[in-house]
Every structure is written in C-alpha cells, then in structure tokens.
Structure 1
Amino acid sequence: MSDILQIERRGGVAWLTLNRPERLNALDPALVRALREYFEGLSARSPERAVVLQGAGRAFCAGLDLKEQVGGEDLGVADMLEQQKGIRDIMLAMRRCPQPIVSVVQGAASGGGFALALASDVRLVTPDARMNAAFIRIGLSACDVGVSYFLPRMVGSSVAAEYMLTGRFMDAQRAYALGLVSRIDALPALQAEAQALADDMLNATPVALRLTKEALGLAVDAGSMEAVIAMEDRNQVLCTQTRDFREGMTAFLEKRAPVYTGR
C-alpha cells in the first residue's frame, strides 16, 4: 500500500491513516485508488476485524484535491462518470465490508471527507472538527458520493437540507447534539477511545460482529418492523450454530476473555 495511505495492524484492528497532511489529506487519484482498493479488498477472511480511519496532520480530509482538477484534461461524460464511480465506490465498499469502521475526525471533513466520515459506523471528533457538503460551493450538487443518502437518515430531512443546500459547516457541538457523532475530545483521547471501541467490538464473535453491521445497515431501509425482526431472527439462529458462540457463552460464565477461531 502506498505511503499516502498508511496501515498499521494492532491485533485484529487496522489503523488507516490518510497521509497527505500538506494537502489536508485531500483526495487525489492515488489516494482515491488506495482507499478503494483497501476497502474493496476486505472480506470475512481478512485478518482485521475492525478498522479505525484517521487523517495525518491538522485535518481529516479536505475532500477532492481541486489542484488535481483545475487545468487538467477536459473529460467527456463517459470518462467523468467513470471517475465519479471510482470515488463513490469507496463509500459503497465501506458499507459493504464486514468490518465496523470508526472514524477519528479532526479539523476539516469536507466534501468527500464528509462522505468518508458518514460512511463510517462510528464518528469521534475533536472540538475543532468542521464538516460540510462542500460540493455545492464549487458549482456541483451537494448530493454526491452518498452524502444525500446518509445525512437525512442520520439527522433528519430538515437539518440535512439546511447543510446541503448551503454548504455551511457543521461544528463539533452541533454534530454531537444531532447524534451524528458519538464523542468530542482531544485527539489523543479520541484515538484511545477508538482503540477501546474496536477492542470491545472484538469481544463479539466474528460472525456476530459481521451480522450486526450488516443488519444495522439494512434496517435503515427495511420496509417494516416485521422485516427487520425476521432478519434479526435469522441472524441469531446463525450465530448459535458457530463454535464461537459456545466459546463466548462459556467464557462469559467462567468470567474470562473469549478465544474465538472464526468457526
């Protein structure tokens, strides 16, 4: 993996660091490709069972690197569509991969950076975090790379419209009040909390963790409570058929840490 996306594995947790601090971790073609290939490569057999996503320097991600766009080659509709799909496929892969993703957001999370945070399962932010749908401020629609899907479901249609129609920044306190983020703290404390969250996730069996992320995503768009409960019923029965379920029950009763094998 390129130096622009650093990966450190700590047991079953992978720490991904966007590493273009001189450009506020803006998404250039190389970083887009590295993120897409990493998340598309995750599977149930991957060594990491949870992922922490962060940015180097003073910002999480300032969105698309406009210096890579201005003065570049004029692309036709077909080529532009392929370029667009290359970016949006990162968010699709983040939602489809079985690993829960915790984002640690400091400073700016604009445009595509906002989308990366929204596509994560848990968001932790520093007091100076500022997030916005920056697309509408540069001549584009604010409905881009999943933001118009995620944001209304997370904060409601009125608040989503407020930020998407204006491109205004949402600060950390507003994001916390809306339930968009889980915690506000200094960066070292958030990094420790991200590791603690990931460690707690590893207390679940591999199957249970994967099925929980999947069901949470599907429940948002489910047609009825009955449909969600039917999915929950299926998941619980599947979990009981694993050896890890029996190990988890035994470890709980014996008051010790479980040792899972993925079976």
Structure 2
Amino acid sequence: MSDAQRYGSGLVVEQRGHVRLLTLDRPERRNALSTALQADLVEEFLAVATDGRTRAVVLTGNGPAFCAGFDLKEIREADERGEPFRPPMNRPGRNLFEVVTETPVPVIAALAGAAVAGGFELALACDLRVAASGIPMGLPEARIGMGANFGSVVLPKRIPMGIALELLFTGENVTSEVAERWGLVNRLVPREQVLPAALELAEGIAANAPLSVRRMKETAVKGLELPLWQALRLDVGPNPYLSEDRREGIAARLEKRAPRWSGR
C-alpha cells in the first residue's frame, strides 16, 4: 500500500515505509466513531497483525478533535427506530478497543485535539500517546448515562485508583498537561508538531528489530499483573533469541553498520 486509501466510513489509511498511518476523517462529526468507522478500524488493525510489513501504527484525527467518542446521533436514530442497544462486549463484531490492545506492533495515538468519551478510551487502548498542549481529555459517560466499559477497566490500571475514580464519577475533563503528569501522555508538543512527533517516534521504533519489539510488547502486556516469577517465565510472541535477526543485529553492531532486519 503506497498511496492513501479512503474508506467510506471516513478512515484514511496510508503506508509510510514500515509505519501505517490511520486517520479519522469525519471532522464535521468531530471524528465520532460510527458503526462503519469502528468496523473499518478493526479490519485495519487485524490486517496489521499479518501484513509482514508494518512495524508501528500511528492513529490520528483530522479537524479540531482527535475523537469525540461514539456517534451519539447514530445511537439516537437507532433508539428511535426501536432497535435494541447492545452493550460493547455483547455485539457480533470485535470490540475496537480490545483489538487495538491486542495489535502485536506498537500503536501510537497522535492527539492534536480533544480526546473524550470513546475517543479517550481509544487513546487509552494505544500503547503510547503524543498530545498537543491544552487539549481536553476525559470520560463524560456518567453525564449521559453510558458506561465507559473500557475506560472503567483500563484507567485504574494506568493511574492511581482515586484519581481514576474521580474522573469516572464526575465525568470532568482534564488537560493534556495534567494527563502528562499522571503518565498518560508520553510527549507533550505544540499542536502543529503532534503528527510529526508521533511519526518520528514510530519510525524510530520501526527501525529496531521487529521480532524484539513484538516480543517486548506481548510480554509487557501479558506479564503486567502476573507475579514476577510467572512473568519472567512467559514465552509469548516471536522468540528473538532464536532468530536470524539476533545474529544480524550483533554482526551489525560489531561491524558498525545499520542492521538489515529480515523479521525472521
């Protein structure tokens, strides 16, 4: 995939070397996650796992917001038609946030605008977050009768429980500066530098041994809540110690040249 591809749902996909750039492009709806957009995002993240080329993903949004969450207009129209509402984990399709967390390559959220409700949950599902200064971030679901299913589980794993519960219970937003102090934002930059900074970070990751990065992500995620002795004995993901890339990496370091990764 060399040229940008646009889905009817408003998702734009571009392959830049070993980095795949996914752009939410519904600025008139503040990049709200319609059913179609969620489905296309799931397809793209599932494809990344098997394409053999992508080593990092950058997820961003066009317009003033990164993502305003689920498409409430679409939900209300379905309610008015009398269609039953299915909770996030009781649907025939895969849950978008779950798929993002399971993507074997690093996923970076480039947040140039507001990330609230499901948009904040989408950012939380990513591994790293590069954010513009002064943008709002939060989970207002308690104010509109929704449940923040993913955020309720994940946010207390990212920041102290008391702070997470205050955000969930009050539905109030915080700024990206506050989120950075809590460790939710990796890099805080001016708005115009968000995408370049995220792409630079992704390209730096993609320049490393792909099997090593995949192994590290899967081990870190699956070992996070295990006792140390169990986590150390995890054997998940590709094994870089037995790979051709290990030999190549050592040879390149000793020969003072750039490594040529094969992914094997």
- Normalising by the residue count of structure 2, what TM-score does the alignment of the two structures yield? 0.90
The answer to whether the Cα contact below 8 Å between 2:214 and 2:238 also exists between their aligned partners in 1 is no
When the two structures are aligned, how many residues end up with a matched partner? Answer: 256
The structure whose residues are more often helix, as a share, is 1
Cα-to-partner distance string for 1:87-125 (whole Å, 9 max, x where unaligned): 871111111111100001122111110111000000011
* Map of 2:180 onto structure 1: 176
**Aligned pairs for 1:223-238 within 5 A:** 224-231=227-234, 234=235, 238=239
Q: Matched residues in 2 for 1:235 and 1:68: separation?
A: 40
1:53 pairs, out of 53, 59, 63, with 59
Deviates more, 1:237-246 or 1:5-14: 237-246
Q: Matched residues in 2 for 1:253 and 1:188: separation?
A: 39
Cα-to-partner distance string for 1:22-79 (whole Å, 9 max, x where unaligned): 1110111221111122112332443211100000011100011111122432233xx6
**Aligned pairs for 1:18-37 within 5 A:** 18-37=24-43
Task: Check if 1:2 corresponds to 2:7.
Answer: yes
Q: Matched residues in 2 for 1:62 and 1:208: separation?
A: 34
| Contiguous gaps of at least 5 residues in structure 2 | 1-5
Task: Check if 1:157 corresponds to 2:161.
Answer: yes
* Map of 1:215 onto structure 2: 219
* Map of 1:68 onto structure 2: 74
* Map of 2:261 onto structure 1: 260
Task: Check if 1:139 corresponds to 2:145.
Answer: yes
The answer to whether the Cα contact below 8 Å between 2:215 and 2:238 also exists between their aligned partners in 1 is no
Q: Matched residues in 1 for 2:195 and 2:41: separation?
A: 20
* Map of 1:124 onto structure 2: 130
Q: Secondary structure at the match of 2:177?
A: helix
Cα-to-partner distance string for 1:203-246 (whole Å, 9 max, x where unaligned): 32221111111111112221x11112222xx4699312100111
The answer to whether the Cα contact below 8 Å between 1:32 and 1:86 also exists between their aligned partners in 2 is no
* Map of 1:241 onto structure 2: 242
2:205 pairs, out of 201, 205, 209, with 201
Q: Matched residues in 2 for 1:242 and 1:88: separation?
A: 32
Deviates more, 1:36-45 or 1:166-175: 36-45
* Map of 2:18 onto structure 1: 12
Q: Secondary structure at the match of 1:196?
A: helix
The answer to whether the Cα contact below 8 Å between 1:91 and 1:115 also exists between their aligned partners in 2 is yes
The answer to whether the Cα contact below 8 Å between 1:129 and 1:172 also exists between their aligned partners in 2 is yes
The answer to whether the Cα contact below 8 Å between 1:44 and 1:98 also exists between their aligned partners in 2 is no
> Which amino acid is 2:182 matched to?
L
Q: Secondary structure at the match of 2:143?
A: helix
Cα-to-partner distance string for 1:170-190 (whole Å, 9 max, x where unaligned): 211110110111111113322
| Contiguous gaps of at least 5 residues in structure 1 | none
2:48 pairs, out of 33, 37, 42, with 42
Cα-to-partner distance string for 1:130-159 (whole Å, 9 max, x where unaligned): 111122111122x32x21221111112111
- Normalising by the residue count of structure 1, what TM-score does the alignment of the two structures yield? 0.90
Q: Matched residues in 2 for 1:128 and 1:174: separation?
A: 9
**Cα 1:252–1:236 shift into 2, 3 Å:** farther
